[in-house]
């Protein structure tokens, strides 16, 4: 279950608090309180309450247990450094005719070089974390470069 109010990365304490909230909702569902009313009583969105209700109906309280922290980094620091060196070489050096990196192309490079799967969106987050700026799917570092044909 995602909570958009924090942008991800919840602490163990916050995950536990939210799990207790889901369990309170489960108790209310067992008492035949509607998801809409549960949402009002607990101060959560109706969408969350209906998602919890669907999970609860399929798997009881166990379905509402926290799954723990979200997955951490997929690439090691050494792999990230190698990826950045690859990106610095440019897309043309790695077989793309137009020489532009896209998040999809970076995902391919990561899969081929490191045997790690990233979604296009995951690559965009990764590039942002590394200090690359994505613009129309064409990531580049810092201000537009001259002479290298980097996308603007």
Tokens representing 112?
A: 């081929």
The whole-model pTM stands at 0.46
The answer to whether 30 and 42 are in contact (CB under 8 A) is: no
- Give dist(CA 74, CA 123) in Å, integer: 11
Indicate the DSSP class of residue 135. Answer: S
pLDDT tens digits along 123-146: 888 888 888 865 434 544 444 443
Mean pLDDT by 10 residues, the chain (152 residues): 47 85 95 96 95 92 78 78 90 85 89 87 86 56 42 39
**Per-residue confidence (pLDDT) for residue 69, from 0 to 100:** 59
């Amino acid at each position: 279950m995602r909570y958009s109010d924090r942008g991800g990365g919840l602490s163990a304490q916050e995950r536990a608090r939210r799990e207790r909230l889901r369990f309170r909702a489960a108790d209310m569902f067992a008492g035949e309180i509607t998801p809409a009313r549960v949402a009002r009583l607990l101060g959560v969105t109706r969408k969350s309450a209906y998602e919890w209700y669907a999970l609860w109906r399929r798997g009881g309280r166990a379905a509402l247990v926290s799954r723990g922290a979200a997955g951490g980094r997929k690439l090691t620091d050494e792999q990230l450094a190698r990826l950045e060196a690859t990106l610095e070489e440019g897309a043309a050096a790695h077989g793309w005719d137009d020489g532009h990196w896209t998040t999809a192309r970076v995902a391919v490079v990561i899969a081929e070089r490191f045997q790690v799967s990233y979604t296009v969106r995951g690559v965009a987050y990764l590039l942002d974390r590394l200090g690359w700026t994505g613009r129309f799917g064409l990531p580049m570092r810092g201000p537009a470069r001259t002479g290298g044909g980097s996308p603007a």
